Amino acid sequence: MRLEPRAHVPFWLNIAAPVAAVILAFAFCALLILWTGAPILESYRALLVGAFGSTFAITETLTRAAPLIFTGLAAAVAFRAKLWNIGGEGQLYAGALAATYFGTGLVTLPPLLMVPFLFLVGAVAGGLLLLLPVILKLKLRVDEVVTTLLLNFVVILFANYLLFGPWKDPLAMGWPQAAPIIDEGVLSPLVPRMRLHSGLIWAVAFAVFAWGFIRFSRWGFQIRAVGFNPEAAAFAGMPIGATVLRTALLSGGLAGMAGVCELAGLKGYLTLDLSPGFGYTGIAVAMLAGLHPLGVIAAAIFVAAIYNGADAMSRAMSISNYLADVLTATSLLLVLASVLFVRFRPRLR
């Protein structure tokens, strides 16, 4: 087989290729299910029902998708500028820490203002956290992959210290958790008796915002230009440093908002299991979405559905729910590989 460059990429192929890749991923994982001895179709049916089969399933999937949209956007925006922000997890906790600091009684505003206020302080905390490694990158050329990754542990251990020490809620019967967010700051539920909260609406709104910003604003234009070709962008007079700093604030801010979304929407108070790795999964979401902010919505729902569905499948068919990780990883690899076929035409012979 050989590959020839395509002169024109038909639009449908941009959609069809990732869909085909995902189908292939499911086919591949069918082998794993087969290995465990469970019936394939029934297992996948259990997965589908677990993800979308009832109001409860749908709302659970969407609840899980909301923080993934934020962290996915954080990665997508940064990667567009070739800023390799692997620190989404740390920024998520930074956002949650800031929201806990301001939202547990220090500041009280009416609900209409309190929620935006918490998102704001969360975003500022996440953005400022990313600023540090980015300044090191710009001034001293320190590789941001390493620094952002390691900062995750710094932030999480700092949260650990706070939760076992000064911030420990005396009413929590000794559990390491902070005081709850005040009622004014809690995100309102969207569906009665379900956990789904208005954080999803915030997430979708910011995905649309990020798309418009990248696509239509001058700063977004600069982010794209600097990401594609920093040398040409600099030669054309674009401010490289300022662009990268803006990207960092936006990316870190979005990841910080993921922390606020989980804290004020779902958990209510800060614990150390606030995020099961949303910051890292956000990177996979962004790559699945081809770094497109609107695609991030779909990719986040897809990944959330797989994780939720795999839990249900695991219960019903007694297959390990690690299959969710394998499915996500295989989908990601195959979607990345499918990009090759979008750009090149495979020819047999």
Partner 1 sequence: MPEVDETVPGGAGVKQVPHRDPVLRLDGVTKHFGSLTANDAVSLDLYPGEILALLGENGAGKTTLMSILFGHYVADAGHIEAFGKRLPAGSPRAAIAAGIGMVHQHFTLGENLTVLDNIVLGTESLWKPMQSRAKARRKVVALAEHFGLAVDPKRLIRDLSVGERQRVEILKALYRGARVLILDEPTAVLAPKEVETLFKTLKTMVAEGLSIIFISHKLNEVMAVADRVAVLRQGKQVAQIPIAEASKESLAQAMVGRPIAPPKREPLPPGEIVMQMAGLSMSGAPGQTALQELHLLLYGREILGIAGVSGNGQAALAALISGLRLPDGGSFELLGEAVKTTSPAQMQHRGVGRIPEDRHATGVVGDLSVEENLILEASGDRRFCDLGMLRGRVIRRYAKDLIDRFDIRGADPTTTTRALSGGNMQKVILARVLSAKPRVILANQPTRGLDVGAAAKVQELLFEARAEGAGIILISEDLEELLQVSDRIAVLYQGRLSQPVAAEDADLTALGLLMSGHGEFERYRREAGHAA
Binding track, positions 236-275, relative to partner 1; x by CB under 8 A: xxxx------------------------------------
Rounded Cα distance, 185 and 64, in Å: 20
Distance (Å, whole) CA 312 – CA 37: 17
Q: Which one of 170, 173, 235, 273 is in contact with partner 1 (CB under 8 A)?
A: 235
Q: Which of 132, 138, 176, 166 is nearest to 150 (CA)?
A: 132
As given in the structure block, the two tokens for residue 143 are 């590789």
Residues 194 and 188: their CA atoms lie apart, in Å, by: 11
CB of 238 to partner 1, least distance (A): 8
Stretch that binds partner 1, among 43-51, 153-161, 193-201, 234-242 (CB under 8 A): 234-242
Q: How far apart are CB 6 and partner 1 at their closest, in Å?
A: 7
CB of 231 to partner 1, least distance (A): 5
Nearer to partner 1, 233 or 335 (CB): 233
Question: What is the amino acid identity at position 52?
Answer: F
Which amino acid is present at 315?
Answer: R
Q: How far apart are CA 140 and CA 137, in angstroms?
A: 6
Which residues are within 8 A (CB) of 107 and not within 5 positions of it... i.e. 6 or more apart? 114, 117
CA distances from 96 to 103, 197, 242, 259 (A): 10, 17, 27, 5
Question: Which of the residues 26 through 85 are near partner 1 (CB under 8 A)?
Answer: none
Q: Judged by CB under 8 A, which stretch of 5-13, 107-115, 144-152, 272-280 contacts partner 1?
A: 5-13
Q: Which residues contact 232 (CB under 8 A, 6 or more apart)?
A: 225
Residue number, 168 or 345, with CB nearest to partner 1: 345
Shortest gap between Cβ of 219 and partner 1 (angstroms)? 7
From the list 189-197, 219-227, 243-251, 285-293, the region that binds partner 1 by CB under 8 A is: 219-227
Query: In the complex with partner 1, which residue's Cβ is closer, 82 or 168?
Result: 82
Span near partner 1 by CB under 8 A; candidates 81-89, 140-148, 224-232, 275-283: 224-232
In what helix (H) or strand (E) does residue 340 lie, and over which residues does it extend?
A: helix 323-343
Pick between residue 5 and residue 192 the one whose CB is nearest to partner 1.
5
The smaller minimum CB distance to partner 1, of residues 19 and 232, is found at 232
Q: Tell me whether residue 43 or residue 222 sits nearer to partner 1 (CB atom).
A: 222
Give the list of residues 6+ apart from residue 290 with CB closer than 8 angstroms, or none. Answer: 18, 339
How big is the site for partner 1, counted in residues (CB under 8 A)? 27
The first and second tokens of residue 301, run together, are 């729902």
Least distance CB 217 / partner 1 (angstroms): 5
Of 269, 261, 89, residue with least CA distance to 167: 269
Count, residues in the chain? 349
CB nearer to partner 1: give 231 or 273. 231
Positions touching partner 1 (CB under 8 A) are: 2, 4-8, 216-219, 221-222, 224-225, 228-229, 231-239, 347, 349
